[in-house]
Amino acid sequence: MDTLQLEQMAKRMRRRILDISHACNAAAHVGGGLSIVDITATLYGAILRYDSKNPDWQERDRFILSKGHGVLGYYTALVEAGFISDEILQSFQTNGSDLIAHPVMNLPLGIESSNGSLGQGLSMGVGLALAAKKKTMAHKIYILLGDGECNEGSVWEAAMSAAHYKLDNLTAVVDKNSFQSDGSSAAVMAGGDLEMKWKGFGWDVHVVDGHNISDLYHAFLLPPVDGKPKAIIAQTVKGKGVSFMENNNEWHHNRLTKAHYDQALQELRD
C-alpha cells in the first residue's frame, strides 16, 4: 500500500472503533485504541509478513500488543488484514465473543498473545526473537507498548536482555500519548527522556510522529543496526481523530453514547 491507502485504512479503522464501541453498549478503552491506529495500520498494511489464510505460517512476523487495553486499534487492523470478519468484530464485548476488552491468544484470528497485565509483552517478544535467532529463522518480532507501561520494571529487564542477546530482529514501538489510566504519565510517574533511556539500554532509537504514516513507514524500514534491537518512540495523541477525546483521559475507558457517537462520526467525515 502507498501512504494514501494506509491513511484511508486508518480512517476506516477509526470508524470501526466508533461503531463497535457504541454498539457494545458498555465502556470501552477508546482513547488508547485511537492513539495506536496509525501505527497498526502501517504495520498491517505495509510492514508485517503474514498470511491470513495460513495464520500459523512459521515464517510470519509476530506482532504482540503489550498495551492490551489498546485492543480496538488491534482488532480493527486484523479486520483490514483479513483475519477477522466484520461480523465477528461486531460481537466485541458481547457474551461468548472471542473479542473482549483485552486480547486473548487466538491464532486463527491473528491474535498472537494474551495481554492485559502490563509489562509482559516485551519479555515475550525477547523470547520469540531469541528463539528465531537460535533457529536461524528470518521472521521479525514487533512489540507495541505504552509510555505509561514503561513504568514497569519488567520492561527494562526485557530491554536489557534484548540488547545483551543482540536481538536485531526485534522492534519495540512505544505509544507515547503521555497518559495512562490514572492521569498524565508525567504526574503519575515521570518517565523522563524515553529516547535516552532506550539508547542507554543499548537500543537503536528513532523518534517519530506516531500519526504520520510516512514517518512510521520509513522508521520501520530502516535497516537494523547490527546486533541492536530497534525502538521507535511514536509521539501520539490519546483519542486521536475525535476532538472531545483528544488528550482527554476521561476516554481512557468510557461509554460512547449516541450523542458522542454522532458527533465523533461527523468529525471523521469532515
pLDDT in tens, 185-211: 999 999 899 999 999 999 999 999 999
What residue has cell string 536461524?
A: 136
3-state secondary structure of 132: helix
CATH number of 210's domain: 3.40.50.970
Whether 260 contacts 267, CB under 8 Å: no
Range of the domain at 253: 3-269
**Geometric angle at alpha carbon 111, from 109 and 115, rounded to 5°:** 145
* Predicted pLDDT of residue 69: 97
CB atoms within 10 A of CB 66: 28
Cα–Cα dist 71/78, whole Å:
10
Which whole number is the average pLDDT over 55-59? 97
Q: Which pTM does this prediction carry?
A: 0.98
Q: How high does pLDDT run on average in the chain?
A: 97
Predicted pLDDT of residue 252: 97
Give the Cα separation of 174 and 80 in Å (integer). Answer: 22
The answer to whether 176 and 210 have CB atoms below 8 angstroms apart is: yes
Convert 62-89 into a string of H (helix), E (strand) and C (coil). Answer: EEEECCHHHCHHHHHHHHHCCCCCHHHH
pLDDT of residue 270: 83
Confidence check: pLDDT of 116 > 90: no
Residue 1 binned pLDDT confidence (cut-offs 50, 70, 90):
confident
* Number of domains into which the chain is organized: 1
